[in-house]
Amino acid sequence: MTKPSLTEPSQIWPKFLTTTKFQWGGCPQILIGGTLGKLVSWKYLLYNVSKPHKPFDKQSKQRCTRFAPHSQRRRQFKDKPPRYQTFFLHSFIAGMDTTSSIVEWAMALLLQKPEKMVKAQDELEEVLGNNKKVQESDISKSHYLQAIVKETFRLHPPAPFLVPRKAVTDVEICGFIVPKNAQLLINVWAMGRDLSIWPSPNLFMPERLLENGIEFKGQDFELIPFGAGRRICPGLPLANRMVHLMLASLVHNFAWKLPDEMKPEDLDLGEMFGLTLHKAEPLRAIPIISL
Which residue type sits at 204?
F
**What Cα–Cα distance (Å) separates residue 174 from each residue in 94, 96, 171, 178, 265?**
33, 36, 10, 10, 41
SS3 of the chain = CCCCCCCCHHHHHHHHCHHHEECCCCCCCEECCHHHCCCECHHHHHHHHHCCCCCCCHHHHHHCCCCCCCCHHHHHCCCCCCHHHHHHHHHHHHHHHHHHHHHHHHHHHHHHCHHHHHHHHHHHHHHHCCCCCCCHHHHCCCHHHHHHHHHHHHHCCCCCCCCCEECCCCEEECCEEECCCCEECCCHHHHCCCCCCCCCCCCCCCHHHHHHCCCCCCCCCCCCCCCCHHHCCCCHHHHHHHHHHHHHHHHHHEEEECHHHCCHHHCCCCEECCCCCEECCCCCCEEEECC
- pLDDT for residue 92: 59
Rounded distance between C-alpha atoms, residue 206 and residue 189, angstroms? 17
Please enumerate, by residue number, every residue annotated as part of a binding site for heme: 233
Rounded distance between C-alpha atoms, residue 254 and residue 251, angstroms? 6
Please enumerate, by residue number, every residue annotated as part of a binding site: 233
CB 192 within 8 A of CB 155: yes
Rounded distance between C-alpha atoms, residue 111 and residue 70, angstroms? 45
- pLDDT for residue 186: 92
List the chain domain ranges.
Answer: 97-289
- Written as tens digits, the pLDDT of the chain (291 aa) is 444 333 343 443 334 333 333 333 333 333 334 333 443 444 554 555 545 545 445 554 444 444 444 444 444 444 445 565 665 555 655 667 889 999 999 999 999 999 999 999 999 999 998 888 999 999 999 999 999 999 999 999 999 999 888 999 999 988 999 999 999 999 999 999 999 999 999 999 999 999 888 999 999 999 999 999 888 998 899 899 999 999 999 999 999 999 998 999 999 999 997 888 999 999 999 999 866
CB 271 within 8 A of CB 279: yes
Q: Could you give the count of Cα atoms lying within 13 Å of 213 in the half-sphere of its Cβ?
A: 1
61 φ/ψ angles, rounded to the nearest 5 degrees? -60, -40
Residue whose C-alpha is closest to residue 241's, from 218, 258, 220, 217:
217
Pick the CATH number of 97-289 from 1.10.150.20, 1.10.630.10, 1.10.8.60, 2.40.128.280: 1.10.630.10
- pLDDT for residue 268: 94
Rounded distance between C-alpha atoms, residue 138 and residue 144, angstroms? 12
